[in-house]
Structure 1
Amino acid sequence: MADRGGPPAAVPLPDDWPAHPDLSLALNRMGSFDWDIDSGLLSLDPPALDVLDLRPEEYDGDPLALAHRLPRCEAARLKTLVARALKDGTTALGAYFRVSRRDGSPHWTHAQAHIRHDGVGRPHRIIGIVRSAEQELTEVAGRSGLAEGRRRLTGVVQRTTALLAHAGSVEDVTNVLKDEQALGHLGAVSVMLGVVEGGRIRLVTEGRSAVYVPELRYTRIDAQFPMSEAIRTQRPRFITSREEFRSAYPLLWPHVEPLSVASGAYLPLIVQSRPIGVLGLLYPRHGDFSGEERDLLVTLGTSIAQSLQRAMLYEQEHDLAEGLQQAMLPRHIPEIPGARTAVRYRSARFGRSVGGDWYDVLPLPGGRVGLTIGDVQGHDTDAAVVMGQLRMALWAYTAEEHPPATALARASVLLHELDTDRFATCTYVEADLTTGELLIVRAGHLDPLLRHADGTCDWLPVAGGLPLGLSAEFAGPGGISYPVTTATLGPGETLLLCTDGLVEQPGTDLGDRLQVLKEAVRSGPAGLGELADRLFDVLGEQVGEDDMALLLLGRD
């Protein structure tokens, strides 16, 4: 009887056991790649070349040699994914994408990679595998092709709608149309947006195709173009073949003929029964659009229409408010003998977010000059109106030669009596250009900054009082009293006054931002105009959405 409790007979193992990773990858139709970011070279082993349907002699390590294997939309999507991963500092990256095989047929492929970083955290290599995913996705599509297509298109609409919710201008809307994670997944080679202006359609973007046709920038609504037809009929226009493009729109055909375009969808953008624009999408495929595709595209057009109208209203309101504020500011700065001046103003960027920042330069008798800069609370047209009233009041008080403290006290009473529930910060400086003496009064505003002739900078510690309006409301029995600080502006020195919009940055300590401004002034150009431009370029792009005003005075 055999001994059933004994050990099993030893089985000899193959000489190549366990299999080398290269063999495992090759048998499973997987290849490896190594992309050196510093040199730009991308190494592909033979199995990887086979997955991409490339012969060894056709590839020299330059990623550009893969351009004819990647459709434009896929190349753009992969570029976006890689750029985002490198920026975010992630270490893993994966993506499905299509390649065009030698016979022109599309083939689904999958890549999985690891991003390696150097000792300082900078990405320098991407190492991974690439494999054929055609069978995998074909099986999935066979089980749920319709559901997957529905999810994909629905995802496009959801992603686009989410992005459009934050659009505050027409430019923001056009940027969404170019987003690879939004409309890029529709497979369109071009996304166009036209806006109705009078009896014409103005093309504001040509999306991802980057094909600019000057003749089509403005077209009449009654012209024989698909965009015009969609506006006239207020119904979507679907074109399913190149022959239909040629026969139905002979004026457009010369511009379509050189493109890889075989179908198109033109969606009127309608709000409250009125067309405000039209969206055009061009596709490389032949054939009709399914009912589900048409429904989702119409839904997409509705979202874009609503966002476009909101953005247009924002821009109109912003233009109105900005125009009002510009009308309230001085139209020109007078020439001051013995001094140089420079002023800059930039409004907030969204909707009615135009506030009450102002500046003024007032010539006074006896070689003196008055400087005012201030900021009315709030960001709307009311703030701009109050700003204009305050500015003219201060101009009148100083023209009557009231002392600086009295001028601000009277302005505070005026603002309180206007009953606007607003307050304003302000700094008033009276400069004697003969002696250089400065009389400074500050009402809740930032201190002035003085740049000396040798380039060094110092904040002038100015005694301050409550903002205008509040000082009148809380004035004691003795009335409003603003302290006056004296200083000297020497020859070759520059005095800087600004509103907090130039330095305030959400999430950043104001003291740190003031130090940044001080350093920018110290290292800035000597010319006042050039210095003002430099400060707005350097600091203005870093701050939040607030008005910014700047006034510079230099004594010769």
Structure 2
Amino acid sequence: MRTGEPLPAVGQVLAALATGLWRWDNTAGLVMLDAEAARLVGLPAEPVTLTEAGIRSRFHPVDWNEIGGIVQLAAAEGTLAEARLRIMDDQGRVIRTVRSRSKPVIDPATGEYELIGTLQEVTEPPPGAAARTPITGDWRRSREAFLLDAGRALAEARSTAEVLRVAAGLAMPGFSPDGLAVFGVEGDRLTIIGNHGHQPGDENPFSHMSLSTDYPAAEVVRTGRAVYLSSPENYKSRYPTAWPLAQHFGRQSWAFLPLTVAGRTMGAWMAAFTYPVAFTPDERSVLTTVARMLAQALSRAGITESERELTDGLQRSMLPTLGPRIPGMSVAARYVPTGGGLQVGGDWYDMIPLPNDRFALVMGDVQGHDVRAAGLMGQLRIALRAYASEGHRPDAVLSRASRFLHGMTYGDPGAADLRFATCLYVEVDPTTGILDIARAGHPDPAIRMTDGTVLTRPTAGGLPLGIDPDADYPTTRITLEPGETLLLCTDGLIETGGHDMETGWKRIRAILEQHEGDLEQLADALVQAVHGPSSHHTTGPLADRREDDIAVLLLCREGEGCGCGDSIAVRPRIRRTMLSVAQAEPERVAAARRHLRELLHDWSCQDQVDSAVLLLSEMLTNVLVHTDSDALLLAEVRGEPGARRMRVEVTDTSDDLPHKRRPGELASSGRGLMLIELLAEVWGVDPRGEGKSIWFELYESSADESSAGDESTEGDESTAGDESTAGDESTAGAE
């Protein structure tokens, strides 16, 4: 071009550069191409106007679907929209790849946009480009977004396996490896921490390779500098000894980068590609940044796993193992500690062999969820085992344990970390099913009966261990009938998930009543319902579950309807419970009322339940007020739902029989037998050799019928006590 001559037309210049012009009017739905743009999309080299459907047929469907997002991003950021698009022929084959650069102009009122841009053929498309992530928008913005997402994902990975999964799923902008390997160092040898994109056994030649070997990863670890191999020829010329090991994988480019933490090279990361990669400065920058984040993530995961292994070993050393099988009984337990990152806590359970073929079950909770709590738990557990093995009764075992813990925590006047512990100690006679229970501030045990009904068993108790060295721990005796299951747990099982003791217990009761599996499956169901499926599953009768701070222990006495075998059999239609109320424990009258309500939880008529609870309260109060003996409650439900019979009986050792009175309107007592006669279907008083029992029955099928006193004469026959000379034993409104 001579000086002073006019510049050539823009179209001529672009045509000389094999660059076409196009304009997309989204409102009209038309795309206008000049001659060069038409040629690039596979049409005759002449200007043409196409519909959206017409231009869409020229592009690969995947690339076309990405255009909308690219345009919206460019419009929002005020930048150019850039995309790599594959051109298809009429047979659906890719004939070329073009780069599109355009400036979107969006109408703010309608949201419609117009694009004016260029198409230019990518003269040397990388092999396999169709399978790679296309460059969308500005490459640097894509890189920044990728690094942000990769950093977040790697920071959230909590184990080495999770870090490797995240690394394998990283899709780098414009170039993504299909083979990954992470090398570690043990002494003077390389190890394979993990790999992706290889067949099992492919890593064998590279495992335990000496750091002096002529292999890229070994050199990276030795020098701390990255190695980039852009072609097989480059690999073969630099590492002829190692090339035969890498040749059969069929890769075209490799990047080996150091994994460096705090200035120390802890390993190497290999990214392998099935197509040639030039490893431009931008690409090397992305790989280097990912390697640094990967090293930090692996370092964090390694520290976490080491701490977990240490604390898991600590907890396992403190937990018992089940001895020989107990004839006639089965035991299952779960322990799930927590304590932040250390995963330790103060909850524990134990099973202790005792003299005379008995054994003891212990459930406890040291205050706190830290290393201090775990240490105290271990010492207290050893002390309890020692006291129990000496043959002491449950009350004496807890008294000695309380004195022991008080001396450890409160004995030092300068101690700032004072702790106490709750505990439930159960001595079991497997032959008779008798349980002697002593409780130190711990939640009461529960029993699932043979028909699936679950009752909490109120037990006498004392202060938590360690508070008062002279505290007393009274013993409660109950009998575990054949087919029944005893549940001991810490409050973590009940109160997890925002529940209090009441609502949490309702949730646990529903699980116990509805479960149909064996004892081990029931233990799993209790833990999983509260904490989800366990990620640390081990088999065996005392397997660990480590997700939250709870301890669960189940004891089943084998019999019809129990969960000790493969599955729960057909449950018998009978449930029975007993509860004692001592003269010195009038507050247990309220516990007895709650106990009866739990027994009748599925009774169809709530009015009958209220009547039964009222009559029970009257009967127990009569014994406490008018005799010097303790009262024994026996409650029983028989039959099929909808046609069941409820029988409630209270026994005492007094020989004085009750009799009815006719109290005036202002009298505060004397209406007990009148209420029984009015509300009960059938009732009676049975003298015994020593003492008596007063009982009543209610029938579920007659809930809406008239008083049972009109239907049966048995109530009339039981009024012989009216002529008794004993004092008035019937009081109303005892509560």
TM range (shorter): 0.5 to 0.7
- Which amino acid letter does the alignment assign opposite residue 204 of structure 1? I
Counterpart of 1:193 in structure 2 is 182
CA radius of gyration, larger in = 2
Counterpart of 1:434 in structure 2 is 431
User: Is the alpha carbon distance of 1:235 and 1:452 closer, same or farther for their aligned partners in structure 2, counting shifts above 3 Å?
Assistant: same
How far residue 270 of structure 1 moved from its aligned partner, in angstroms, is 2.1
Counterpart of 1:445 in structure 2 is 442
- Which amino acid letter does the alignment assign opposite residue 552 of structure 2? L
Describe how 1:334-373 pairs up with structure 2 within 5 A: 334-348=324-338, 351-373=341-363
Q: Is contact 1:195–1:202 with CA below 8 Å preserved after alignment?
A: yes
Describe how 1:3-152 pairs up with structure 2 within 5 A: 24-25=28-29, 27=31, 50=57, 52-53=59-60, 100-101=86-87, 102-103=93-94, 105=96, 148-152=138-142
Q: Is contact 2:336–2:547 with CA below 8 Å preserved after alignment?
A: no
RMSD: 4.3
Long gaps (5+) in structure 2: 1-24, 34-51, 70-80, 88-92, 101-112, 121-134, 410-416, 535-545, 559-735
Q: Is contact 1:439–1:485 with CA below 8 Å preserved after alignment?
A: yes
User: Is the alpha carbon distance of 1:294 and 1:452 closer, same or farther for their aligned partners in structure 2, counting shifts above 3 Å?
Assistant: same
Hey, what's the Cα distance between the residues in 2 that align with 1:217 and 1:425?
Answer: 55
Describe how 1:385-534 pairs up with structure 2 within 5 A: 385-419=375-409, 421-469=418-466, 471-472=467-468, 479-502=470-493, 505-507=496-498, 511-534=502-525
How far residue 551 of structure 1 moved from its aligned partner, in angstroms, is 1.9
Hey, what's the Cα distance between the residues in 2 that align with 1:497 and 1:96?
Answer: 66
What TM-score does the superposition give when structure 2 sets the normalisation length? Answer: 0.53
User: Is the alpha carbon distance of 1:164 and 1:519 closer, same or farther for their aligned partners in structure 2, counting shifts above 3 Å?
Assistant: same
- Which amino acid letter does the alignment assign opposite residue 436 of structure 1? G
How far residue 177 of structure 1 moved from its aligned partner, in angstroms, is 1.6
Describe how 1:210-359 pairs up with structure 2 within 5 A: 211-212=199-200, 213-215=202-204, 218-220=207-209, 221-249=211-239, 261-348=251-338, 351-359=341-349
Q: Is contact 1:349–1:545 with CA below 8 Å preserved after alignment?
A: no
The DSSP-based 3-state class of the residue aligned with 2:156 is: coil
- Which amino acid letter does the alignment assign opposite residue 454 of structure 1? D
Hey, what's the Cα distance between the residues in 1 that align with 2:95 and 2:231?
Answer: 20
How far residue 492 of structure 1 moved from its aligned partner, in angstroms, is 1.6
Instruction: Using the TM superposition, name which of 99-108 and 514-523 deviates more.
Output: 99-108
Counterpart of 1:165 in structure 2 is 155
User: Is the alpha carbon distance of 1:432 and 1:347 closer, same or farther for their aligned partners in structure 2, counting shifts above 3 Å?
Assistant: same
Note the alpha carbon deviations across 1:243-291, whole angstroms, 9 max, x for none: 2234445676567557674323222112344322222223355343233
Hey, what's the Cα distance between the residues in 1 that align with 2:161 and 2:264?
Answer: 21
Note the alpha carbon deviations across 1:116-164, whole angstroms, 9 max, x for none: xxxxxxxxxxxxxxx99995899xxxxxx99943343333333333333
The DSSP-based 3-state class of the residue aligned with 2:279 is: coil
- Which amino acid letter does the alignment assign opposite residue 520 of structure 1? I
Q: Is contact 2:143–2:173 with CA below 8 Å preserved after alignment?
A: no
How far residue 339 of structure 1 moved from its aligned partner, in angstroms, is 2.0
The DSSP-based 3-state class of the residue aligned with 1:288 is: coil
The DSSP-based 3-state class of the residue aligned with 2:94 is: coil
Hey, what's the Cα distance between the residues in 1 that align with 2:296 and 2:482?
Answer: 58
Q: Is contact 2:167–2:294 with CA below 8 Å preserved after alignment?
A: no
The DSSP-based 3-state class of the residue aligned with 1:418 is: helix
Q: How many residues align?
A: 453
Counterpart of 2:555 in structure 1 is 553
Return the structure number with greater helix share: 1
Q: Is contact 1:156–1:186 with CA below 8 Å preserved after alignment?
A: no
> Is residue 202 from structure 1 mapped to residue 187 from structure 2 by the alignment?
no
Q: Is contact 2:136–2:142 with CA below 8 Å preserved after alignment?
A: no
How far residue 491 of structure 1 moved from its aligned partner, in angstroms, is 0.8
Note the alpha carbon deviations across 1:78-112, whole angstroms, 9 max, x for none: 9xxxxxxxxxxxxxxxx998665433755689xxx
How far residue 25 of structure 1 moved from its aligned partner, in angstroms, is 4.3
The DSSP-based 3-state class of the residue aligned with 2:515 is: coil
Q: Is contact 1:440–1:486 with CA below 8 Å preserved after alignment?
A: yes
Q: Is contact 1:334–1:363 with CA below 8 Å preserved after alignment?
A: no
What TM-score does the superposition give when structure 1 sets the normalisation length? Answer: 0.68
The DSSP-based 3-state class of the residue aligned with 2:365 is: strand
Instruction: Using the TM superposition, name which of 285-294 and 319-328 deviates more.
Output: 285-294
Q: Is contact 1:267–1:301 with CA below 8 Å preserved after alignment?
A: yes
Q: Which has the higher contact order (CA 8 A, sep 6+)?
A: 1
Long gaps (5+) in structure 1: 1-20, 30-44, 55-65, 79-94, 110-130, 139-144
How far residue 490 of structure 1 moved from its aligned partner, in angstroms, is 0.6
- Which amino acid letter does the alignment assign opposite residue 452 of structure 2? G
How far residue 364 of structure 1 moved from its aligned partner, in angstroms, is 2.5
How far residue 240 of structure 1 moved from its aligned partner, in angstroms, is 1.5
- Which amino acid letter does the alignment assign opposite residue 434 of structure 1? T
How far residue 389 of structure 1 moved from its aligned partner, in angstroms, is 0.8
Counterpart of 1:541 in structure 2 is 532
Q: Is contact 2:339–2:369 with CA below 8 Å preserved after alignment?
A: no
Q: Is contact 1:502–1:540 with CA below 8 Å preserved after alignment?
A: no
Note the alpha carbon deviations across 1:167-201, whole angstroms, 9 max, x for none: 33222322332445x75776333343233233433
Counterpart of 1:38 in structure 2 is none
The DSSP-based 3-state class of the residue aligned with 1:196 is: strand
User: Is the alpha carbon distance of 1:264 and 1:408 closer, same or farther for their aligned partners in structure 2, counting shifts above 3 Å?
Assistant: same
User: Is the alpha carbon distance of 1:350 and 1:135 closer, same or farther for their aligned partners in structure 2, counting shifts above 3 Å?
Assistant: farther
- Which amino acid letter does the alignment assign opposite residue 184 of structure 2? V
Hey, what's the Cα distance between the residues in 1 that align with 2:176 and 2:226?
Answer: 18
- Which amino acid letter does the alignment assign opposite residue 57 of structure 2? D
Hey, what's the Cα distance between the residues in 2 that align with 1:552 and 1:400?
Answer: 25
User: Is the alpha carbon distance of 1:185 and 1:287 closer, same or farther for their aligned partners in structure 2, counting shifts above 3 Å?
Assistant: closer
